[in-house]
């Protein structure tokens, strides 16, 4: 099956567009979001005081290390801030931001439409559900078909009565150990992918083998691996052989936390966090192994402290800074264009 008016097109919050018009595309961002679901109590009096303070220059150093233990940092619902940050991306040559904020962490279709109209940046919106703590109370009782129907409607008709449509399914959230409800969520997303011809993007659990386990599940469910994106690979897989095994499945490998260099965050204390230099080294290895055409890039900006207005790197970090570092490390401009323009265009085009 397919989505007739989107076949051969990319589907943005303003409707179908020619994929050739997408330009530089960052494939995993959050323009507006409430990520309070990952909040962790700091556990001491000094930390609890800092946890309740708004993000400021005075506490920014602490927030950068303990970013999931500050409540204000986890909520970015200011549309005007998102517009200004998006304009910076556009001024850096950017064309498209893929906002994969799923149901459960404050997906806001109307806000995304307003941001896109005001800035001229193409915005592609996600569909489906995040990790189990963000699931609605009735999720256990819902069937795969029921959840799939909701995702299909978001893509083909629009969210609720907004008429604003999702152009990608995801990010579909998985934790480790993988829960039954999360497996049901992925199964529903795969069913919706088959029905709509939309791309699918997965948020895997925090162990190195989680991505390949999910890929095998998607394959068994009849999903299209060539149109599936595995996100957060740069902070999930550190062993090159495991990375090669994943890349060999034919999915898109997403290196999507550029600019985030704070290891062992409170909500994931065992998660290593490579530097941007290390990320680029790993990308060079994937390119050498023949996987250039399966790589997409992003920042996963999901907190205030990573935005320009709060002392962060913003949505323009990759086009303004990272690409220069890539060239210094031997990645050519043609290869950069493949990762930032050609691959996202192919991935976002409905079949």
CA separation for the pair 110, 131 (Å, rounded): 23
Would you state the torsion angle of the CA atoms of residues 349, 240, 68, 29, taken in this order, to the nearest 10 degrees? -20
What separation in angstroms does the CA of 42 have from each of 54, 56, 273? 15, 18, 20
pTM of the model: 0.97
pLDDT in tens, 73-107: 999 999 999 999 999 999 999 999 999 999 999 99
Residue 114 CA to its chain's centroid (Å): 20
Output DSSP code: residue 13: T
Residue labelled with tokens 């801030």: 81
- The yes-or-no verdict on residue 314 having pLDDT over 80 is yes
Whole-number pLDDT of residue 330: 97
Q: Are 121 and 97 in contact (CB under 8 A)?
A: yes
Report angle CA 33, 168, 194 to the nearest 5 degrees: 140
pLDDT band at 47 (very low <50, low <70, confident <90, very high): very high
CA separation for the pair 184, 142 (Å, rounded): 9
Q: What is the CA radius of gyration of the chain?
A: 19
CA separation for the pair 61, 129 (Å, rounded): 32
pLDDT band at 147 (very low <50, low <70, confident <90, very high): very high
Question: What H or E segment, with its residue span, contains residue 182?
Answer: helix 180-196
Output DSSP code: residue 70: -
- The yes-or-no verdict on residue 190 having pLDDT over 90 is yes
Could you give the domains of the chain?
4-348 (3.20.20.140)
3-state secondary structure of 95: strand
pLDDT, mean over the chain: 97
């Amino acid at each position: 099956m397919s989505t007739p008016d989107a076949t051969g097109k990319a589907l943005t919050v303003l409707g179908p567009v020619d994929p050739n018009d997408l330009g530089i595309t960052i494939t995993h961002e959050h323009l507006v979001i409430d990520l309070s679901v990952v909040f962790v109590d700091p556990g001491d009096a000094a930390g609890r005081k800092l946890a309740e303070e708004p993000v400021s220059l005075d506490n920014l150093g602490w927030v950068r290390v303990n970013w999931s233990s500050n409540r204000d940092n986890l909520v970015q619902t200011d549309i005007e801030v998102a517009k200004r940050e998006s304009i910076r991306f556009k001024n850096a040559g950017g064309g498209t931001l893929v906002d994969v904020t799923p149901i459960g962490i404050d997906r806001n279709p109307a806000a995304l439409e307003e941001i896109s109209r005001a800035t001229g940046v193409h915005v592609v919106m996600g569909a489906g559900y995040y990790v189990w703590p963000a699931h609605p109370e009735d999720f256990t009782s819902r069937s795969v078909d029921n959840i799939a129907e909701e995702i299909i409607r978001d893509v083909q008709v629009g969210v609720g009565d907004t008429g604003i449509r999702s152009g990608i399914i995801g990010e579909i959230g998985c934790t480790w150990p993988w829960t039954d409800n999360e497996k049901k969520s992925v199964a529903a997303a795969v069913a919706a992918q088959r029905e709509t011809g939309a791309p699918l993007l997965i948020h895997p659990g925090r162990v190195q083998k989680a991505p390949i386990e999910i890929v095998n599940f998607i394959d068994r469910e009849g999903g299209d691996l060539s149109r599936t994106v595995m996100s957060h690979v740069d902070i999930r897989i550190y062993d090159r052989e495991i990375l090669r095994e994943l890349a060999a499945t034919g999915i898109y490998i997403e290196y999507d936390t550029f600019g985030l260099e704070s290891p062992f965050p409170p909500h994931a204390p065992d998660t290593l966090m490579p530097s941007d230099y290390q990320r680029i080294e790993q990308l060079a290895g994937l390119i050498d192994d023949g996987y250039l055409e399966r790589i997409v890039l992003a920042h996963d900006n999901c907190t205030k402290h990573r935005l320009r207005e709060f002392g962060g790197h913003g949505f323009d970090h990759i086009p303004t800074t990272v690409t220069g570092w890539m060239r210094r490390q031997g990645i050519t401009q043609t290869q950069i264009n493949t990762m930032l323009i050609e691959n996202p265009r192919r991935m976002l085009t409905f079949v």
